[in-house]
Amino acid sequence: MFHEKFAEGIISAKQFNREDIEYILKKGKEMLSETNSNLLKGKILASLFFEPSTRTRLSFESAMYRLGGNVIGFHSEDVSSIMKGESIADTIRTVENYSDCIVMRHSLEGAARMASKFARVPIINAGSGSGEHPTQALLDLLTITEEFGSLDGLNIGLMGDLKYGRTVHSLSILLSYFDANVYFISPVELKMRNRDKDYLQQRRMNYKEITDYRKILDTLDILYMTRIQKERFIDLEEYEKVKGLYIFRQDDLANTKEKFRLLHPLPRITEISSDIDESEKAIYFKQTFYGIPMRKAILAELMKD
Ligand code: CP
């Protein structure tokens, strides 16, 4: 049962198998037709964002309110006692007394995992450094299944910052449970990390690494673009070298299949030209909408009585 298996929360996409993914996608789909309910009436979500967020924090909080629950929390470590030197462990040991579930974003890769060791309530990893962002990957899959009906048999390109981009780390793990052909498209400096590729190879995932997306663009069903994660670079000169290498424009769209779809977890900076936003192939804002049903499904499962 999903609820029992994920009693400690959702920290990594590696916790999932195909059955779990299909189950939570089904629950997300069911939430699409449900507007507001009282499923989580009396429950409290603690929303602890130590790093900036627009979509993840607001969609979790909106999802909680739409399920009849309440939200406490902070959206910057500046307003928490972390600023007085309190540790994450002590923060979690305190906040678990005030809530039924904790959703947390932090710049440290292991922060959510560490928090789960100190909490008796489920922890949801809402982005941990360059590590993972599993609930984004789940909403990405919900978006794809709503567009294509299935995940199997698709040609999917993941493009941009595959080294520091946490969404693509989680998404590639989940995709490894499906029969998709995956292309990792990045500058050499921002290739998928070896430890991530080792994991995907163990899972016998069918992927190729390339640098020029134009060579395969006409074969793709989906291109999932990502922002170059400026905040993760130690040397900003390295960022300057790669920041403008991929910019998806109108003339690229002309070389895509009729059913092609362009996704992006957002925020985007310059990597997608805004003059294609109105194209039916550009679905990154629709993708943000799926954050609500997916996160409603996750919260409802984790806080089930
Ligand atoms: N996709 C995503 O994580 O967006 P935010 O950083 O705005 O939460």
33-64 pLDDT tens trace? 988 899 999 999 999 999 999 999 999 999 99
Where does residue 198 rank: exposed (0-12), middle (13-18), buried (19+ CB within 10 A)?
A: exposed
Checking if the pLDDT of 239 tops 90, the result is: no
Does residue 109 sit in the same domain as residue 161?
no
How much of the chain, in percent, has pLDDT values that exceed 90? 89
pLDDT band at 169 (very low <50, low <70, confident <90, very high): very high
Does residue 99 sit in the same domain as residue 25?
yes
Does residue 75 sit in the same domain as residue 157?
no
Does residue 60 sit in the same domain as residue 149?
no
Q: Looking at residue 34, what is its pLDDT?
A: 84
As a whole number of angstroms, the distance between CA 146 and CA 140 comes to 10
- Binning the chain into helix, strand and coil, the percentages to the nearest 5 are 45, 15, 40
pLDDT band at 10 (very low <50, low <70, confident <90, very high): very high
The response to whether residue 136 sits with its C-beta less than 6 Å from ligand 1 reads: yes
Does residue 127 sit in the same domain as residue 139?
no
pLDDT band at 79 (very low <50, low <70, confident <90, very high): confident
Q: Is 262 left (phi over 0), alpha (psi -120 to 50) or beta?
A: beta
The response to whether residue 143 sits with its C-beta less than 6 Å from ligand 1 reads: no
The answer to whether the Cα torsion of 240, 275, 214, 261 is positive or negative is positive
What atom in ligand 1 is closest to the CA of residue 133? 3
Calculate mean pLDDT across residues 271-295: 97
The residue behind tokens 């920041």 is: 243
Whole-structure pTM value: 0.96
Instruction: Look at the chain and report how many structural domains it folds into.
Output: 2
Higher per-residue confidence, 83 vs 122: 122
Q: What is the 3-state secondary structure (H, E, C) of 272-293?
A: ECHHHCCCCCECHHHHHHCHHH
Calculate mean pLDDT across residues 72-90: 89
Does residue 263 sit in the same domain as residue 198?
yes
Cα first-last separation, the chain: 13
Q: Looking at residue 202, what is its pLDDT?
A: 97
**CATH number of residue 109's parent domain:** 3.40.50.1370
On whether the CB atoms of residues 260 and 156 are closer than 8 A, the answer is no
Does residue 7 sit in the same domain as residue 147?
no
Q: Looking at residue 283, what is its pLDDT?
A: 98
Does residue 82 sit in the same domain as residue 210?
no
**CA 44 to ligand 1 center in whole angstroms:** 22
Q: What range does the domain containing 81 cover? A: 2-131+291-303
pLDDT band at 244 (very low <50, low <70, confident <90, very high): confident
Range in 81-85, 104-108, 118-122 with the lowest mean pLDDT: 81-85
Does residue 6 sit in the same domain as residue 145?
no
Give the closest residue (by CA) to ligand 1 atom 3.
Answer: 56
Higher per-residue confidence, 149 vs 237: 149
Does residue 113 sit in the same domain as residue 10?
yes
The response to whether residue 250 sits with its C-beta less than 6 Å from ligand 1 reads: no
Q: Looking at residue 228, what is its pLDDT?
A: 92
Q: Looking at residue 76, what is its pLDDT?
A: 86
**CA 59 to ligand 1 center in whole angstroms:** 10
As a whole number of angstroms, the distance between CA 21 and CA 14 comes to 11
Calculate mean pLDDT across residues 15-31: 98
Q: Which of 133, 185, 160, 184 is nearest to 271 (CA)?
A: 160
The response to whether residue 266 sits with its C-beta less than 6 Å from ligand 1 reads: yes
Checking if the pLDDT of 80 tops 90, the result is: no
Give the closest residue (by CA) to ligand 1 atom 1.
Answer: 265
pLDDT band at 231 (very low <50, low <70, confident <90, very high): confident
